[in-house]
Amino acid sequence: MRLLRVSNNNLTNERDQLQTSNNNLAEQRNQLQTSYNNLAEERDQFRRRLEELNRERSELQKKLLDHGWIRYGTSLYYISTLQKSWEESSDDCQGRGSDLMIINSKEEQEFARRLRKRLWIGLTDRDTEKKWKWVDGTPLSTRFTLFIALLYGDQHLFNCIHSLCIEYLQYCGECSCPC
């Protein structure tokens, strides 16, 4: 009889422990479900906001395209019909909330070449002679070193560069000459 009572007490204790574990697990499951629901709602809000921002971006890009901007890849470019110096062109770009073209790829360089117009690009060594930087402050990468090396062979290398339709990069006397 005593053995039966001890066994019964052990089983009762074990049942109570299992019930406590079960209750704890149920509480954790409920907390996880609540967290999941909150994250799902937050994700849905982000998706809605992303869709809204994408619509706004598309509308803004359409307006820009309607005002003479050209799309290439994910970027938009404005090609002015006015001949201006590098500085004037840079100021004009900044007035439009943009900057002179920064060439990040061979494809983008080809795009500039295909425009068949002389245009200023955002590359300069005005801060430090022969230390070329893009207008956003990033240094000239090695993929353009060949073009700069060709320019260094000339004794009249100036502080900024423009693109010509036939040659990739070329200098134009001074930054003040129109392009």
- Residue-level pLDDT at 14: 92
172 falls within a domain: no
169 falls within a domain: no
Phi, psi angle pair for 157, to nearest 5°: -80, 130
**Together in a domain, 31 and 96:** no
Residues paired with residue 133 on neighbouring β-strands, in sequence order: 124, 139
| pLDDT (tens digit per residue) in 25-77 | 999 999 999 999 999 999 999 999 999 999 998 898 888 888 888 888 888 88
| pLDDT (tens digit per residue) in 119-129 | 788 888 788 87
Domain boundary pick from 18, 51, 67 = 67
pTM of the model: 0.55
Domain extent for 80: 70-163
